Amino acid sequence: PPLSEILNLHDFEAIARQIMPEKAWAYYSSAADDEITSRENHAAFHRIWFRPRILRDVTNVDWSTTILGHPSSMPIYVTATALGKLGHPDGELNLTRAAARHGIIQMIPTLSSCSFDELVDAAQPGQAQFFQLYVNKDRAITKRIVQHAEKRNIKALFITVDAPQLGRREKDMRMTFDAADPHEIGKSGGGQVDRSRGAAKAITGFIDPGLKWADIPWFKSITKVPIVLKGVQTWEDALEAYDQNLAGVVLSNHGGRQLDFARSGIEVLVEVTEKLKEKRGITFPNNRFQLFVDGGVRRATDVLKAVALGATAVGIGRPFLYAFSTYGVDGVDHALQILRDEFEMNLRLLGSQTIKDVVPAMVDASNIHTH
Ligand code: FNR
């Protein structure tokens, strides 16, 4: 169908399921084990309700914000997703280009299909990019990757901490991944390739399961770029990250692709803001330690719920993959335009002129932990 018939982010998924190559669909859509967490990620947003305010002059509304000090036209960013060329020959370049058009930030994955430098070179002047790091067992390689990213003006380093071993994604495992597949693994990954059990397994053998809290000072010693941990799932670990002076955490379960029955990021957000206030007197959002959420975000209302509960911004993964796999860069462009329009309307209906006006009292999250 023409793009004009795509009315929301769910529509891209429905079309992608029908027309994407089987292997690409299996890799993008798959999640761990019985995919309970994957489904729960979106469902959890359904347990939060709004408390909109009225009569507040919403003629002009502004949904722009800043993320780790960098302007963003919306409180969202493109999160890191590997192997963009499985879905489209231009791979992650589709995301870089659409992010430029809309003034939002892209997180470049370690396992991008396009090379890291290609994605940095494709950015417009002033377009901020983040880098997602999988930590290599060989720390000399990791050091080289991080310092190269810093030299190329990457604005923040997101270290993925929820994947010491790969989750079991059975849809993907039923596919074999051979040399003829239309992908190129970014040079940063390296290591052995096992092609017999799906795309995911084929590319992740280099990741270090030995990574530990005591390694954090080393990362700080090799770079001045702000460091955020991606994949925090409890207030205890969020508190540790805060105490280690990191720039923030992403409350995420990797799109349900790692530990099945991990809770949704939005649910974890509620306990993190409560406990960090209780233990350290800190409130959110603030500039010293920022909270991000990803997983199951499909509507601006999902984003606004997270923002109301203290998140600085929210990451979106699969919807953009489905958008470029079906319509290339124009698909991602259209997905971002849909979100833009949703932000405008929903801010008005909430009675908020700006993102700063989307405060905790605008949501009722009292049933977030109940099913
Ligand atoms: C991911 N994700 C991910 N995360 C990461 O840190 N490094 C990576 O290489 C990848 N690769 C990846 C591939 C694919 C196909 C998907 C779907 C996801 C996880 C990603 O950053 C994010 O946590 C989730 O995708 C968010 O959930 P939604 O928006 O996809 O529901």
18: burial class by Cβ within 10 Å (0-12, 13-18, 19+)?
Answer: exposed
Confidence of residue 255 (pLDDT cuts 50, 70, 90): very high
* Over residues 77-97, mean pLDDT: 98
Mean pLDDT of the residues in the chain: 94
Q: What is the mean pLDDT of residues 88-106?
A: 98
Report pLDDT for 204.
Answer: 82
Residue range 255-283: mean pLDDT, rounded: 98
Query: Is residue 162 annotated as a catalytic residue, yes or no?
Result: yes
Give yes or no: 322 in active site.
no
Q: Token digits for 187?
A: 């040079």
Nearest CA to ligand 1 atom 9: 82
Write down the catalytic residue from 27, 77, 134, 242: 134
By alpha-carbon position, which residue is closest to atom 23 of ligand 1? 254
Burial class (CB in 10 A: 0-12, 13-18, 19+), 327: buried
CA distance 311 to 360: 11
Of the residues 77, 254, 302, 327, which is catalytic?
254
- Tens digit of each residue's pLDDT (9 = 90 or more) over 16-52: 999 999 999 999 999 999 999 999 999 999 999 999 9
242 is catalytic: no
Question: Quick check: bond before 285 cis, omega within 30?
Answer: yes
DSSP helix, strand, coil percent of the chain (3-state; round to 5): 45, 15, 45
Considering the candidates 90, 162, 237, 333, report the single residue annotated as catalytic.
162
Spacing, Cα 205 to ligand 1 middle (Å): 17
pLDDT bin (cut points 50, 70, 90) of residue 178 is: low
Q: Residues lining ligand 1, judged by CB closer than 6 Å?
A: 27-28, 41, 79-82, 109, 111, 132, 160, 230, 252, 254-255, 257, 294-297, 315-318, 321
Task: For residues 81-93, give the mean pLDDT.
Answer: 98
Q: Is the pLDDT of residue 180 over 80?
A: no
Task: Return the higher-pLDDT residue of 79 and 370.
Answer: 79
pLDDT at 176: 73
Ligand 1 mean position, distance from CA 56 (Å): 38
